[in-house]
Structure formats: C-alpha cells, structure tokens
Structure 1
C-alpha cells in the first residue's frame, strides 16, 4: 500500500495555532462507519453519543517541558536540546540543534548554570546521550527552565503551559500531548460519570515518532519507534467488566487505541495488567480487537495516525471525511477539532 494514498490537500490556514479558550467548544465531526454517514456537532455534545455502560479510555500521560535552550560553556554558542527518553542515572537520549556543535565531551549550561549537561556520545540517528548535573529536583528545574515541545507546525507562543496538557494528565514522560484528550473538561467527565459512562485510564508516553513523517514509499516499509505504556490491574478489570456487560470501549486518541490493541493482540480474549514498550503499527487491513469506538483529532497527511484512523473506519470513508473537514474549515492537528468514530452514532440519544 502506497503512503501517498493517505495524502490530502490542507490549506495552511486550517492548522490551528492556538487552543480554544473553552476546551469543549471545539467542533466534532461524527463518523458512522456502519451507515457511512457524517454529521457536524460540537464536542460539548459528546455525551449524547455515548450510552450508560460504555467506557472511555483516556491516556493520563503528562508532557515534559522537554525543550531546553542553553549555551556551550567553552564558546557561548546557543544550543537547543530536546529530551526524548530517560535512560536512568540522570542520562537522557536527546536531539540537539545545531547538532554539529555538540560532540562527545561538550558541556552545555542552562539557566546560568542551574542545570548543566555533558554529551556522552552520539546515537545511530544523530541523537545525543546527555548526562545532567543539578541540585534539587530535576522535574522542578525542567518546569522552571524548559518549554513545551510544541510540534513544528505550531509557530505561535503558548501562553499557558497547561493548555498543552489534558486536565487528567498525571504521569510525566511524553514529548507530545495525547491531543484527543485536550477537548475534555473536568465538568464534561463528571457529566459522563453521572450518565453511567465509565472512565478508565491507561498511560502511554508519546515519543518523537509522533512528529516524524513516514519517509518510506510503501506503508509496509515504515518502522515505528517504541513507546512505553502501562495498564493497571484496575483498568484491565473495568474493561473486562464493560465487555462482559455489553458496553462499548471508546479509545480517546490513537495512543489509547494503540495501547489497548497491543494488549489484545494475537487473539487475546481479555485485557490484562501490563507494561512495556510497544511499536505496534496499525494501518488498513488490521483487525481491531480492543476498541469499539475512537475519538481523535485531524492528523497530518501521510502520517501513521491517519493510517490508524483509516484502518478503524475504512480508508475511503476517512479520506472523504477529511475532504469534508477541509471544505467545512475544521481546525487541524494538535489544537484543532475532533472526530468521533462510532458505529450507529447517527442514532444518538
């Protein structure tokens, strides 16, 4: 299958540069793969499409303020460092810019020496292994000195760091937000629980692979980067109960869906407590076993995310939905509008 089959024309002005004032007031396209019907709604009406006994699965990862700006201690040259993966012992896999200025032994200072990093070596894809020295707590220093690692297509400054976090974010470890969750407010989650809709939490720490375009010509040639996930015993038990009682499991975001599908691979019949690294790549032809519905944003052309959504709802229907989203001037990507994919959703209450 060719990667360019997932291309579409997107006017640049439809790429949302800033989040809406009220999270839940984003638009929501409702797609019903059963009837191929598409309707237009506001996200604030999401509860109308869900039934008592259904279960939403939210990714409670929290984004690190992972972008640091520092200077080389020997020359004063400006260096940007993006934290990718905690390797333990205050050592991180990072991306640095300009890379040619950072060699083994280079030391970089951040915040007038509050934090320093020394390069231990270079990785296969140009990453740098950096060892950090500091006093106090690393995450507190990151909060003070770091910036949110917004995707490259967002050029506006983010005034409030919390707007790139979900209201339920808890476990720090991502370099990008699970953006489908950005539409939820605490009030909306309360409304759902009052209606008898269950809410379950999983954790998947989003890695840099989420920013990387697919460079292969065919889908099958692309390799996914591994991302750490965790599903608790309580979440697994709740999901099994929902299935047993005939409720639907609706993944909020591609990260939640990839986590659930990782657990339910190879014909598994029940959800289990599990943690580890997943590089599952879902594209058309994949048979879903873990989810019955999906809430997602509008994704980049030719990305692994639009491939996953096409696998779930059908490529033809999704490409038609994206065409309609462009003609209706939906807002795209991280701070953009949402899509609910659910069979029978046009017969909502």
Structure 2
C-alpha cells in the first residue's frame, strides 16, 4: 500500500507544546471525534462524553508507564559531556547521543555520571544520525538516575523543556505509576480522576498494562519515508502484562465483552499477546519485547475499541488506526477534522475514539 495514501493537508494543524492544564484548561476538556464502524458515521463531540460510548461490562485497558527525563551530564577525565537517551534495545543496550565541545566521541569511550558516580556509560558502536549504541552499568541505576537528575533538553519530543522541568505531573496520566518511557504515552492524558470514577460507576472494568515507549521521533519510528508502508520498520518496545490484566482480558473475551485500548501502546501490547495464536487462545502474563508493526491487513484478535490521539500524516500511528477502522474511513475523518478546524494534534492535542 502506498504511503502517500496516508497524506492529508496539515498546513494549518495546531500542535500545542504544553498539556492543557498548563494552558488553563482541565485534563478532560478537549475535543473528540468518534468513528462508528458499524454505521460508518463520524461524530464531533468533547472528551467528557466518552462515558456515553462505553457499556457496562466493557474492559478499559490503560498504560501505566510515564515519561522520564532523558539527558544526563557525564564526566570523562576533565571533560563534561551531555548524554541523551533515545531508545532501549532488547539486547540490554541503549541508543544515545553524545554532545561534547572538545572530546572525541569514539567506540570504547567510558563516561561517569556527574550525579551518580556508580553509573557509567560505555559506547559500543556508532549508529545512523550520529547516535551510539551504549551500555549503562549497573543498568538498574539508569531509570532512577534519569528520574532524579535527568533533564529534557532535546527537541525530539514536542514539548516545552522549561515547563517540563517545572511540572512533570502535567505530562503524565493520572493513573501513571511506572517510570520508563522516553516519549509520552499520551492517549491517557485526557482522563481526570473524576471522569474515571464516572466510567467505573457505569459498570466499566479497568485494568493496566505497561509499555515503555522506547524510541523517540529522532529515530524516525513514526514518520514513514518508505514508498510502501509494508517496507517501514518499527523499533522494539518493552512491555509487561501482569496476572491481573491477563485474567481480566481473558474473562472479558470469554464473555464477549468489549476490550477498549487507551492508546496505540495498549493496542500494540494486547495484540502482541495474540499474534500467531488461535483466535480464542488464552492470553498469558508476559514481560518481554514486541516488534509488532500494525498496518492494513492486520487481523485484530483482542481489541474492540481504540482511543487514540490525532496523528500526523504518513505516520505509523495513523497507519495503525487505518488498519483498525479502515483506511478510507480514517482518511475521511481527517478530511472532516480539517474542514471543522480548531482541532489540536499530537500528544497534547485532541482525541479520536473508534468504536
């Protein structure tokens, strides 16, 4: 399928730099476009009405990961360098960018954290785009060091670094509890505690999985430059599905209740559990990596409803939504969004619900 089929006019698209709370609004105040696959109809509404589209017995699945700062200061000899983490790899290595005014950056270079002298970074091999594959040791110190001492200085994530440093809670969902992502799992930012309480009161069950978004846009994982979408490659990401989540998903499937994925990260996680298995196979708890790439032609086995943000053209995210709702339907919805005007895109923008 041609990638150009996922283009749309985005010359006037609004992409906020900050979450809605930092713009004087409530979390759940955004707009929402609803795509009803059973009727082929599109509705324009506001996010708090999402309760109206849920049914008693639905299972709402959330991603409880949140984004870390990704930049640390390191020493080597008398020199101070900036190390920015851009992605994690299944082999235990990490993709980094090293910035230094004087120091030659080369294989084997060993850096010592300026904030925690126990954490070292060894450069293993060069990568495209002036990046490096590196090894942090001891590896278990990387996340707590990023959380305690890290900064957000790069421009790979569309946010205001100053505001990020001042109010990190605004950049994570109200239910987030596990640090590890390098980009924001953003679909859940729209939920407030009050709205989640209303959803629960309606009889909707809720559970959580964890997927740490492991590679930022500097690695071109979202924008598809290939002429054919099938030739695009996505990077692996780490996920965890615990006993409780697996049990609830299995029970909902067995009883014919809908499973609602909040975000493409949840979609990718749940569908990864069922790839190459019988349609009704039991979901097993797992803590592993997925390289699943979802595009039109993919057979969905777990998710029935998807909540996602509004995505850029030629992105792997818009391709995923097209796989779920149909390309023509999704692209027609983006045409309508353009005609209505005022919709906000990307991680701090408005949302799309596909039922």
Q: Flag as ranges the 4+ runs of structure 1 deviating above 6 A.
A: none
Q: Which runs of 5+ in 2 are unaligned?
A: none
Q: How far apart, in 1, do the equivalents of 2:274 and 2:303 lie?
A: 9
Residue 178 of structure 1 aligns to a residue whose secondary structure is: coil
2:316 to 304, 320, 323: 304
1:145 to 149, 156, 160: 149
The reply on whether 1:95 has 2:64 as its aligned counterpart is: no
Aligned-residue Cα RMSD (Å) equals 2.8
C-alpha change, 1:139 and 1:208, in structure 2 (3 Å) is closer
Match of 2:14 in 1: 14
Q: How far apart, in 2, do the equivalents of 1:149 and 1:176 lie?
A: 13
Normalised TM-score (structure 2): 0.85
Match of 2:133 in 1: 128
Aligned residues: 338
Q: How far apart, in 1, do the equivalents of 2:299 and 2:15 lie?
A: 31
Match of 1:119 in 2: 122
Match of 2:266 in 1: 256
1:162-311 pair list within 5 angstroms: 162-208=169-215, 212=220, 213-266=223-276, 267-269=278-280, 270-311=282-323
Q: CA deviation at 1:33?
A: 1.7
Residue 239 of structure 1 aligns to a residue whose secondary structure is: helix
Normalised TM-score (structure 1): 0.86
Q: How far apart, in 2, do the equivalents of 1:137 and 1:224 lie?
A: 27
With 60-69 and 293-302 compared, the bigger mean Cα shift is at 60-69
Residue 25 of structure 1 aligns to a residue whose secondary structure is: coil
Q: Does the 8 Å CA contact 1:110/1:116 hold for their aligned counterparts? A: yes
Q: CA deviation at 1:2?
A: 1.3
Match of 1:160 in 2: 167
C-alpha change, 1:150 and 1:187, in structure 2 (3 Å) is farther
Residue 200 of structure 1 aligns to a residue whose secondary structure is: strand
Q: Does the 8 Å CA contact 2:107/2:126 hold for their aligned counterparts? A: no
C-alpha change, 1:39 and 1:101, in structure 2 (3 Å) is farther
With 312-321 and 257-266 compared, the bigger mean Cα shift is at 257-266
C-alpha change, 1:308 and 1:41, in structure 2 (3 Å) is same
With 234-243 and 102-111 compared, the bigger mean Cα shift is at 102-111
C-alpha change, 1:205 and 1:151, in structure 2 (3 Å) is farther
State the Cα deviation string for residues 21-75 of structure 1 (Å, max 9, x = none).
Answer: 1111111111112222111111112111101101111111222222235566444
With 110-119 and 247-256 compared, the bigger mean Cα shift is at 110-119
Q: Which runs of 5+ in 1 are unaligned?
A: 343-349
